[in-house]
A and B are shown apart, each in its own frame.
Chain A
């Protein structure tokens, strides 16, 4: 069928914005973690997955209002992030890339195994939506309330985090560490504290991302791996240093990926992220966003 159905296009576009928000949340977390500690967090998806299981379990066992369960899950995600840094990556600040990547992957595997073991008697776990079920009908197109709410929440949180990095002392310290670690230390920046905070924010964002998307999807121990990869692509858009770019990149990726499904080029949707990343990296897009110092620091670490 060559004709592009408008309804389908709009429906996919809406889903794309929703997924894009999830990618953006994950991408921002990845950038924060990378800037503060030089680790590309391959365990980001697993952290999101584990926190979402906690969200599911808290809701099932305690029966609290969804907002409270969500808050607990996000708090758990933050502690998990900070914990992972303090236990593992604090010791690896001078290690090379391979060591950090492998360590993160090992942590991801460990979290997956732990989740599989703890919740092995649960089938088809479905954590609750935060926003009402049902949808808003605009003509033939149905916009789920969960999707609308998630996009608004994502934007608010993302913008909040970006402002945090721009204006607070933490943010200044973060940028200083990313640009020139030695100088920052000389200036009194406590890099462990900065990194732990960044990891905590990253972990919290990951938990939020999982809690927003998984009610509409499936909760398994492999959940969030695909989303994490898309989050990396969003982070790449900003060259791993720019948060606003990661935000835009995430949304852009989501929209592009999903909208393709309504076109005759639907089979490209699955691999769009891969192609996007190839193009971005080959164009050396990071040069657009990074300051010279940050770029040098990046190249040294890579």
Chain B
């Protein structure tokens, strides 16, 4: 019997059956929304009066100290001035991974942003317009799905701007291109993108700002700090190879951004003098087994007589220091900013004494009214209290502060072009929780300073004020030196 089944029809039936099964199950399992207790806003403490010295990142009096809720225009506006902006509402969007292995990164950032929006709305919004946050989630490595998420935010939800999109550098490329093509402002308090890598230079992303330290400035500070530390260790007789105190090694993940950082470091280090040499550059393949080889990398650096190690990311520092401890090789380690909990959650004694920077965000050892406001909000919205107050979340907070500031300034005439014009031309903008921001058409990162931190007993300690390249590398606290002496 010859079958005359029409498989196209079968396909439609099959698809309908699938919908019939999947949709109700999703409805059935509809979980509680991420709980944001908006009543908490009433119980937030009032902003304390600032007492004592606030470490300001600006050597001259900053032109704008921004305290959320204080200053800026008030009064209502009554018309729609741009897509996503109406008389009563401003729509913004966020893209973060809420599931999968990167959920621990995405969820806190979403909650922080939502928390900021809640607090902002509780004090009346921006010039009478309430802010509404739309979430789109996509897996952290899914470039296609992230692009669809960006499109959904812009074209379906009609958002005015996108904030704090957390995706890894490599999977955000397509979405970033799209946002710039559509002229939608992107405000990345947190950055996984935009470090002057080849693909996303400022010229190609004029509609995006990132608010983190520029790589070329950071390199200068790392180099200067490591020089200072090595000199101190040399004076104390602690270097394994005292004949050549400025011989050092680098270790980086074998991915393009980290490699570049490593190479930059070598260039700047060796420009300091003939005695400054990078004698060993190790690259760790970005896979789990490679980490077991850290002992070999340490051995290689020992072999090459290195006296210190620069690590291009927190991962290589955490595992590198553990391996160095196993090999009983004690040298100074300086790393590109370590995201908060990585080093402190489980590293233990091997990581003691490691130096890392705060990326321009003051998430350790900074006490200002704005920082207290941030911590209060975090405490209100996180069951674990301030455990999630770290680099990502503070970076996201800074992004929102800049957004609130710029949007408030623009008043009724809030347009996308004006917003990015303000955000891309901030001068001396001091959020009180991060380095001063100075953006320009050629610099959409804006921060030129960071604070050095040191790890001790699974905690970060601030050991410097705001450092600038070419400036003094002054240690301001002996807490956190964990017996290293410096």
Contacts and interface: CB of A to CB of B under 8 A. Distances in A.
A220 B342 contact: no
Interface stretch (A77-85, A100-108, A223-231, A274-282): A223-231
A222 interface: yes
Interface string A198-223: 00000000000000011011101111
A292 B293 CA distance: 41
A12 interface: yes
Contacts of A146: 326
Nearest to A11: B299
Residue with the greatest number of chain A CB neighbours at <10 A, chosen from B287, B296, B318, B322: B296
Nearest to A214: B288
B273 interface: no
A120 B140 CA distance: 14
Interface stretch (A30-38, A136-144, A171-179, A242-250): A136-144
B292 A216 contact: yes
A15 B346 contact: no
Residue with the greatest number of chain B CB neighbours at <10 A, chosen from A116, A137, A221: A116
B328 interface: yes
Contacts of B296: 8, 11-12, 15, 258, 261-262
Contact of B346 (A11, A124, A133, A216): A124
A15 B292 contact: yes
Given A142-B327, A144-B326, A221-B101, A226 B295 contact: no
Contacts of A168: none
Residue with the greatest number of chain B CB neighbours at <10 A, chosen from A8, A116, A120, A133: A120
B324 to A, nearest CB: 10
Nearest to B100: A116
Contacts of B292: 15, 18-19, 213, 216-217
Contact of B104 (A12, A15, A122, A218): A122
A123 interface: yes
Interface in B262-317: 285, 287-289, 291-296, 298-300, 302-303, 315
B460 interface: no
A150 to B, nearest CB: 10
A61 interface: no
Interface in B307-358: 315, 318-319, 322, 325-328, 341-343, 345-348
B contacts with A: majority SS: helix
Contact of B295 (A15, A113, A221): A15
Nearest to A142: B327
Contacts of A8: 296, 299-300, 303
A7 B303 CA distance: 8
A173 to B, nearest CB: 35
B303 A140 contact: yes
A1 to B, nearest CB: 10
A113 B100 CA distance: 7
A134 interface: yes
B155 interface: no
B101 A116 contact: yes
A176 B401 CA distance: 71
Interface of A: 5, 7-8, 11-12, 15, 18-19, 113, 116-117, 120-126, 133-135, 137, 140-142, 144, 146, 213-214, 216-218, 220-224, 226-227, 258, 261-262, 270
17 contacts: A8-B299, A11-B295, A11-B299, A116-B99, A120-B103, A124-B342, A125-B346, A126-B348, A133-B325, A133-B326, A135-B327, A216-B292, A217-B291, A220-B101, A226-B287, A227-B288, A261-B293
Given A123-B345, A223-B288, 6 more contacts: A15-B295, A120-B103, A125-B346, A140-B303, A220-B288, A222-B288
